Structure 1
């Protein structure tokens, strides 16, 4: 701690200054951390909103998901109409159900299935409904059908002879579109619910001759939109064509680990050289700026260092850096502690209280004792030495003042600065 000059007169009433920071001061000190925490919280909330973190639990188009993006409402309606809906969790399960004559609904949201898996599923299915396929899935299952953007609004131009589409008659807003080129049209593909040159639904033969229907958007099957326009009629017409339905949402178990890209393939080419260079620079900087290798002390431990050498070494450091104020602070702190112990004051007593007690015990002027113990910093080495000598004399006088007087003596004794032990037989030994 640094001792500073007292704010009040040293001979006035001793008052303890409150050192506990207020709430405002604590907030001011921690303002940077508070701002950083607020930025992190706001960023996390924004990230959750962008990624749909507040979406109700359950997968998109999950057959048991009752959230707006789920499909539980459609599944319950199909079951009431006698359709046995089975959730297939793996490709093998979906393939087995397809071979048994079940209609298969495929929604590969993350694009997990590769071309071989899609071909296997299409070959085993008689009726396959693919919802919102990605580019790779369209290229595998329907080479002439391509993504065509988003519909401009509700669609009521059926434009095809698909029975489920004719029964629906209209689709709600929020549909995606696909296009059908001439080669696909020649192979038997036709589009339904026209919007310009694109369609919301496309139907045609699959690679193995299966009846394949592509629905470009999930809107038709979602709980939130299934009751709008003719969405429910189209969904029930496509999925209720047979007595059994396999609801297949591919998961991580269907991913082919052999074809997954490695970390090295995903990392840009410049990352590895930069990492190697960073390691080399870190090692070189550590050797350059670090301490020398080997033990700092050659002698075997424990090494005994006299306390006097430690004090002298610290004094030389203070002298080399001209830290007169810090050196005087250490002298004053030690003097205040020793004077407080001699006068039986608590260790927590403020410096100005110790100064008042020392002035009363020695008979000195309270202001001069206060300037000695809690005064300004010295302006030069000579003044520092003089203050050190005065501190030593003050400690001596305080020690003499509390010593018991010899028997048979009365009256005051000498109180000058040069008084030594035994020169004051008038002291009673009582603490003021």
Structure 2
């Protein structure tokens, strides 16, 4: 009986196979990105229009109104931002101006209750329903040109000109300013206290406040009292009752959602398990080599079969522009005007005569395409001829 020593046993010196963790990390990264996008989409869908900052006095975005609020504070006006009707009612007093955008989140009754304790109200944006509810005027047509106050309101005397994008026809007893007499960008109603309506989204936003007399108009509207209560409408403060529409989840049986989640979980597990088998890309030599000339002729035959003269003309012009740019010492991606002007200078002809040839209207038929190709070839030949240096006779 032969005894085998432990040292006589073969020793497996091969390294254990390395686990490919890169595919697993890739799938985890994809899952994280999908979850992040889903969370961002849900937050965006859940946020109301007020969250986007349109004329929001606390928003620094281009459509916000933080610049106007800070300008009022610099002038000594106390600006208090409120986001509920109860807070607005508690903040109003005799020396206050109620400022707000179109309160589309409120019913007519809630709007009346909001306006009741305010002697001075300024609507910084409006809608057709609000105009009818206030009985202050109607929408009007007019060009978007610079307009002066042209009305007997003393506060607007030093405003200068503004460029409004919306005009209103005033109701009887309402004063229209910054218009043409029959319509104006600002309506001032003193029949029931002091109410002013203006479409200020493009006048009082942070991006447009420094233009024309926009800032002066904002001060004239909101700086007449020592305090401004700025109410920001939102769906969180709405009193509009509505019924939620039927959703896919409410119309399907209760077991459908767990089944879908189970299938998604199984799919992710299978993807992760199968993904480990994928390794790095391996370069292989293709069995067939396709010459560039065959590709060119194939595309040419397709273009001819489709009778697509404009597409063929654009290809001819693009090739001519690139070749001329190279011969004239320009960048390969130089625009048409640069190539045309450089070629005109080389040929000693006036500038502006080659733009139509290199980027004009496309030909409508094959005859025009042939003529265009001939002219492009003549242009290239002429430029090439000017680039050749004549031999000396020595």
Superposition TM-score, scaled by structure 2 size: 0.48
Which one has a bigger Cα radius of gyration? 1
* TM value normalised by structure 1: 0.44
